[in-house]
Structure 1
Amino acid sequence: MSIALFTLGGTISMAGGPSAGVVPRLTGADLMAAVPGLAELDRPLEVQDVQAVPSANLTLATMLEVVDAAAQAIADGATGIVVTQGTDTLEETAFLVDQVWPHPNPFVLTGAMRNPTLAGPDGPANLLAAAQVACSPAARDLGALVVFNDQIHAARWVRKTHSTSTAAFASPNAGPIGQVVEGQVRILTRPARLDGVPARAEPAELEATKVALYTVTLDDDGLLLRGLADTHQGLIVAGYGVGHVPAALAPVLGELAARMPVVLTSRTGAGSIARNTYGSIGSESDLLKRGLIDGGFLDPYKARILLRWLLATGESLDEITAAFAQHH
């Protein structure tokens, strides 16, 4: 029995480059060599170096390749999966994995906020904790997990909430579901796994599926919404507060919702949109009556991942609405 480690680059793998700044250079073997205590695990890590890039360069297609390779590793006897990558898109890639990972084995994503050239790099500690979670029976049947700063987060809730802090990852709506304490994995709560999206989208289908994200701002004129239905197949609206937009945008969004799925979310970073609290034009109840889909507790970034996947797999409007209803 082993743990399969897939490396994708990011801050955890960075070292000095030929010019100013650090770049991804360290292999999985390099990362393992820098982790005290990893040898004491009762399962070895088997490394597959997939890419060495900043996470801004990752794609959904790349992550699906990793999921396929991870599934093969499980079939070959691996106990769990660890993926190291950059933190900028980690909350999104983790959510994608959570939608498509069918196995009870833990799928753990981690990284680092401080690169190895700095004092106190957090990558080794995060990698050790992630490996401990990946081989723990307590972490089974929880889907994709993000392990950072000795905290265990469910992929559906986790957010990157700070640009530089080693405590950047948090779950504002629920808190971490567990902790790693003295090397022991302690799961504090077990959220029920959601249905996910069983259908598979091929890379060509994902490439052809365009979903826009529109963040509403003060005195918004909505000009960027013009012609959107001619270039995209779906839209995520990050509205004010509990799901509000300026009154002038309400009919525009209603017209778009008649042509493609439009999902209403909140730009605040935590909490759900409302449904029946406010009744003015541009309020959440007005927008839902105009055909927008209730995004519930999903933040705009995860909502975009889910909608793009659902569209790429050919789900109907009713099926899309039902998928988002799991997050209410």
Structure 2
Amino acid sequence: MSVALFTLGGTIAMAGTSTGGPGGPVVARLTGADLVAAVPGLDTLGVPLEVQDAQAVPSANLTFAQLLDLVDAAAKAVAAGAHGVVVTQGTDTIEESAYLVDLVWPHPEPFVLTGAMRNPTLAGPDGPANLLAAARVAASPAARELGALVVLNDEVHAARWVRKAHATSTGAFASPDTGPLGHVIEGEVRILTRPPRRTPLRTDRSRAPRVALHTVTLDDDAALLPRLADTHQGLVVAGFGVGHVPSELAPVLGDLATRMPVVLTSRTGGGSVLRHTYGAIGSETDLQRRGLINGGLLDPYKARILLRLLLASGAGRDEIAAAFAEHA
């Protein structure tokens, strides 16, 4: 019995500077063994960590293909007896990585992602504490059947709800609509609520559909939108508030919806797109009537991941709408 640890780089793995002196930009230098050696208390975990150094890459450079390869490697570790999985990566895209994993991870063993907001050259680096908490969650029977989780600051977040809500704070991660699923308290994993699992999605590595994301802004003329159908296979719209756009955009989006799936989300970061409250041109009711798919509680970034996976699997519009009704 063990916990499989895969390292991908990011702030948690940075040490030293490119200039060789204080104040310079930090660079990634720590291996998985280095990370583990810096964490006091891992010897009380009760199970060993099996460390595998994956690609040392900034999280901004991660791709769907790399993350799906990581899922495959994690699945092999579970098949070999790992009780859970921990992945360290940069926090910039951890919410998106975690949601992609959650959509395809079929195993009861927890898949835990963590990182750091303060690198090891700074006072009070949070990486060791986050790694210890993540390992405890991965090893805990309480975390089974919860899919992919994000653990930082002793909080356990569900991948489908977590957001990076602050650029620099060690308490940067939040789940605006639900709060964390649980906490790590005095070394004990306390899960307070258990959301239902969704059926894992199938994947097709042979397809890489392009899905655009358009955030609606004040006085938005959307001049580039009509051309998207020539270069992309799907579109996510981050609308105002509960899912509204300027009236001039409504027919443009409606036309696009006849040519490819268009998903309506909210740019706010919390709350749901409505379905039948407002009826003006550009409202959620009007846009749905024009063929847009309601993204529900999913934020734009997660909606894009879900839509891309569905398109890669060959899903048609009706299947996509049904999947968003289930997942959002």
- Given the two structures, how large is their TM-score scaled by the length of structure 2? 0.98
1:240 shift after superposition: 0.1
1:52 shift after superposition: 1.3
8 Å CA contact 2:254, 2:292 repeated in 1? yes
Aligned counterparts, 1:123-142, within 5 A: 123-142=127-146
| 1:32 is the counterpart of 2:36 | yes
| 1:324 is the counterpart of 2:324 | yes
Distance 1:288 1:195 in 2: 26
Distance 1:175 1:226 in 2: 38
Distance 2:92 2:60 in 1: 7
Aligned match for 1:100, one of 101, 104, 110: 104
Please, what is the CA RMSD of the aligned residues? Answer: 0.8
1:118 shift after superposition: 0.3
Q: Which amino acid aligns with 2:265?
A: T
1:17 shift after superposition: 3.1
| 1:176 is the counterpart of 2:180 | yes
Aligned counterparts, 1:18-97, within 5 A: 18-19=18-19, 20-97=24-101
8 Å CA contact 2:239, 2:264 repeated in 1? yes
Distance 2:203 2:167 in 1: 33
8 Å CA contact 2:238, 2:265 repeated in 1? yes
Q: Which runs of 5+ in 2 are unaligned?
A: none
1:250 maps to what in 2?
A: 250
8 Å CA contact 2:254, 2:291 repeated in 1? yes
SS at match of 1:227: helix
SS at match of 1:48: strand
| 1:155 is the counterpart of 2:159 | yes
- Given the two structures, how large is their TM-score scaled by the length of structure 1? 0.98
Aligned match for 2:204, one of 192, 201, 215: 201
Aligned pair count reads: 324
1:38 shift after superposition: 0.5
SS at match of 2:224: helix
Q: Which amino acid aligns with 2:89?
A: Q
Alpha-carbon spacing, 1:75–1:327, altered in 2? closer, same or farther (3 Å): closer
- The percentage of counterpart residues that share the same residue type is 73
1:317 shift after superposition: 1.0
CA deviations over 1:249-280 (Å, ceiling 9, x no partner): 00000000000000000000000001111110
SS at match of 1:205: coil
Distance 1:102 1:113 in 2: 30
CA deviations over 1:124-167 (Å, ceiling 9, x no partner): 00000000000000000000000010000000000000000000
Distance 1:164 1:17 in 2: 19
Aligned counterparts, 1:144-293, within 5 A: 144-197=148-201, 199-202=202-205, 204-206=206-208, 209-293=209-293
